[in-house]
Structure 1
Amino acid sequence: MLRSVSMQSFKTLESWPVDNVSASVISDGAVHFYGDVDRVFELMSVTKLLATYGFLVAIEEGVFELDSPMGPEGSTVRHLLSHASGVAFDKPVAEKGVGERRIYSSAGMDILADAVAAEAEMPFAEYLREAVFEPLGMENSELWGSAGHEARSTVADLTKFGQELTAPTLISPETLAEAFQVQFPELIGTVPGYGMQKPCPWGLGFEIKGQKSPHWTGDLMPENTAGHFGQSGTFFWTVPGSGQVGVVLTDRNFGPWAKPLWTAFNDEVWAELNS
């Protein structure tokens, strides 16, 4: 992949209060990079997007189906992937009834990872490496712990993942399209750092912007923008059908510094891409 400095909005990153920041934007088949794209960063909850792709591969391999029972009684794979199972944030126990509330849950991702590991007879980290990382050439990506928040990667690798989302090769376009569709659209819930959202749209693993405001993806971006951010100061978004993807990795934990800067930067990028 060629480096590019043609995105004027990348200049904004120079003033961010972080020690290290790397970024990329995909648009119309072109890839624009900023910073050291081979630097390894902790992803925190951006991990969920990579794990989700592994689960989607598993679905197509017949490990389970979206509507297979899993988790609390009455819950399915679909509920777990869309944070609608009622499972608590950090423990595989029910905090609410199935389908009652969008409870953001890393534990739900681990329930899915354990199911894949049992069926495939290998640790989920190995399954994810063989099913996603190796085919996409993501040589510096690793799931080292929880499928919900313990992976590390680089901008270069996540750009390859982003390219996969614009033209899937590992799963069918229909499966990916389902991941980008809001699941259980009536549910309310909390986006960490952004408070209660009514409703709180989510796809399969991918957060969907909807009408959330303020939102980390930017006020100008479309309602179908899908992605995730991580508490380690990372985010990844794509706008399905547009061929456009944004990746930013930093080494400063998410906090008050990030909210206005992320929104402004993403709005600048979106405006530049669509000017």
Structure 2
Amino acid sequence: MRSYLLIAVSALVAMAAWAGLVFTGTMNGWTRTALAEPDDVNGFLQAAIEMIDADHRGNLGFALLENGEVVGEHYVSIGAPVDRDTGFQVASLSKWISAVGIMALVEDGRLDLDAPVSTYLQSWQLPGGEFDNDGVTIRRLLSHTAGLTDGLGYGGFAPGHEIQPLTESLTRASDASPGADGRVRVGLEPGEQFEYSGGGYSLLQLLIEDVMGEDFESYMQRTVFQPLGMENSTYLDAVSDNGNRATLYDVDGSEAVRYRFAGLAPTALNSSTADMVRFLQSNLENGTGNTARARILQPQTIGSMREPHASDFGLQIWGLGNILYAPNGHGDFIAGHDGSNDPAINSAVRYNPATGDGIVILETGNRFLATRIAGEWVFWQSHRLDVLSFAGDAGDMILTILAGIVLIGLITIAIAASLVWRRWRRRRRVAAV
């Protein structure tokens, strides 16, 4: 019996070791090769441009930064030309910029990150339920840990269709993406887990309007866009039509419908490559690079937004308004935000605070190209898989782990069967004597 117990324990240890090995190998990209050698900026730039030229299906703006300065740009389109000032819909990348607007009010003492959001709301309140709504704080809304279960994702409203009022959208969004509940309510214990919530950022939009007594667009123009010189950025679709706006394309190269949104803060931003570079640079220390730059927030506030507030798969994945893509090897994270929406909008803006390096990609026509290239940039910077690439590889990782566990199980069964067979033969020989 002790032999069988030893075999079973050994098998469990081997299974755990195999799972840990596969997880570590996936996270560290052991089977991947970076697009360029470390510090070969031109090599990465050229490799990224080759990926863009091979895989773009609509239009795209790309800028690469080293030490806070733009070292390369590339613009492509299957239709009207695009340039550094062309406006793109950036989908959920909007949340990071909106979070800066919230944090500006925190710095000014107008908001307390840890106060119940209901303290500030006048136009609408979270519905009652099983959980305590006072646990829904600004900090938790920014980090998707407030327990909201709306699952939004907004599909938007087509031209000719009336945009739903924001308070009605909070009650139940009529443009919820497929599979989303669409009701902004507390369905989980606040602070217990990460649960992505576009509705939480719509609630923050309403908070700004209630606290400041002005519409969200006006506040963001005055607080963020104008101080940074982001002249081609707006949350309003009508304003974005300034004569240099990117056509939206589907994956087959056909022109796509341009949707409008009630939830501006989570998904409605239109911005240009040049404006996103300015925004990225405002998150860098002035000592990074050669130019003193405009900033909205103090360095300590920007740093606090990169402090981990949510995890998944045992990985720190979210700060206050930005994604923590991977540790940067300097006690900090490569951070930023991506955006994706139907039919084929994809954006990515990421930066390494230790080096001042960064990447900006805005595009339509390919659902994942911006995220793929930005993921390659993170791997080139850190030699680690970023959290979005890791999530994409998780299915293959799990299958590999399961295949190894099955193999270990079969080997264990074979060893145990062999042991039984040998003992049975030994008993027969003894009986024969």
Q: Same fold (TM over 0.5)?
A: yes
Q: Secondary structure at the match of 2:280?
A: helix
- Write the deviation string for residues 71-91 of structure 1: whole angstroms up to 9, x where unpaired: 632121111100000112233
Q: Distance in 1 between matches of 2:377 and 2:325?
A: 16
Which stretches in structure 1 are left out of the alignment for 5+ residues? 189-196, 212-218
SS in 2 for 1:142: coil
Q: Aligned partners of 1:210 and 1:269: how far apart in 2? A: 10
Match of 2:110 in 1: 63
Aligned residue pairs: how many?
249
Pairs within 5 Å for 1:89-238:
89-90=151-152, 91-144=183-236, 145=261, 146=263, 147-167=265-285, 169-184=295-310, 187-188=311-312, 197-199=313-315, 201-210=317-326, 224-231=333-340, 232-238=345-351
Confirm or deny: 8 A CA contact 2:346 2:371 kept in the other structure: no
Determine helix, strand or coil for the equivalent of 2:148. coil
Larger Rg: 2
**Unaligned residue ranges in structure 2 (runs of 5+):** 1-40, 76-82, 119-132, 153-182, 237-260, 286-293, 384-433
1:249 aligns to what?
Answer: 362
> Contact 1:18 / 1:250 at 8 angstroms: preserved in 2?
no
Secondary structure of 2:337's counterpart equals: strand
Letter in 2 for 1:264: E
Q: Percent identity?
A: 25
Alignment deviations for residues 29-56 of structure 1 (CA, whole Å, 9 cap, x no partner):
3213221212211100000111011111
Q: What is the CA–CA distance in structure 2 between the aligned matches of 1:141 and 1:248, rounded to whole Å?
A: 15
| Rounded Cα–Cα distance in structure 1 between residues aligned with 2:104 and 2:279 | 14
- Matched residue SS, 1:148: helix
Looking at structure 1, the residues matched to 348 and 371 of structure 2 have their Cα atoms a distance apart, in angstroms, of 12
Q: Are the equivalent residues in 2 in contact too, given 1:44–1:149 (CA < 8 A)?
A: yes
For residue 34 of structure 1, the aligned residue among 74, 83, 98 is 74
CA contact (8 A) 1:19 1:251 kept: yes
Deviation, structure 1 residue 97: 1.2
* Structure 2 match to 1:194: none
67-76 or 244-253, which deviates more: 67-76
For residue 94 of structure 1, report the CA deviation from its aligned partner.
1.4
Cα RMSD of the aligned pairs, angstroms, is: 2.7
Q: Is the 8 A contact 2:347 2:370 kept in 1?
A: no
CA contact (8 A) 2:49 2:74 kept: no
> Which stretch shows the higher mean deviation, 58-67 or 262-271?
262-271
- Within the candidate set 85, 94, 103, 2:146 is matched to 85
- For the Cα contact (< 8 Å) 1:79–1:85, is it kept in 2? yes
Larger helix fraction of residues: 2
- Between 1:163-172 and 1:259-268, the stretch displaced more is 259-268
Q: TM-score, normalised by structure 2?
A: 0.53
The answer to whether the Cα contact below 8 Å between 2:113 and 2:137 also exists between their aligned partners in 1 is yes
- Sort the Cα spacing of 1:11 and 1:200 in 2 relative to 1 into closer, same or farther, 3 A: same
Letter in 2 for 1:19: G
TM-score (norm 1): 0.81
Matched, 1:24 2:63: yes
SS of match in other structure, 2:117: coil
What is the DSSP-based 3-state SS (H/G/I as helix, E as strand, rest coil) of the residue aligned with 2:201? helix
Q: CA deviation at 1:140?
A: 0.6
User: CA contact under 8 A between 1:181 and 1:203: conserved in structure 2?
Assistant: yes
Q: 1:126, 1:260 → 2: CA distance?
A: 34
Displacement of 1:269 in angstroms is 7.2
Q: Distance in 2 between matches of 1:99 and 1:21?
A: 38
The answer to whether the 8 Å contact 1:9/1:265 transfers is: no
C-alpha distance 77-152 of structure 1, shift in aligned 2 (>3 A): same
C-alpha deviation, 1:11, in angstroms: 2.3
Amino acid at match of 1:52: A
1:117-173 alpha-carbon deviations (Å, 9 max, x no partner):
111110112111110000000011011242111111010100000110113622111
Partner of 1:45: 92
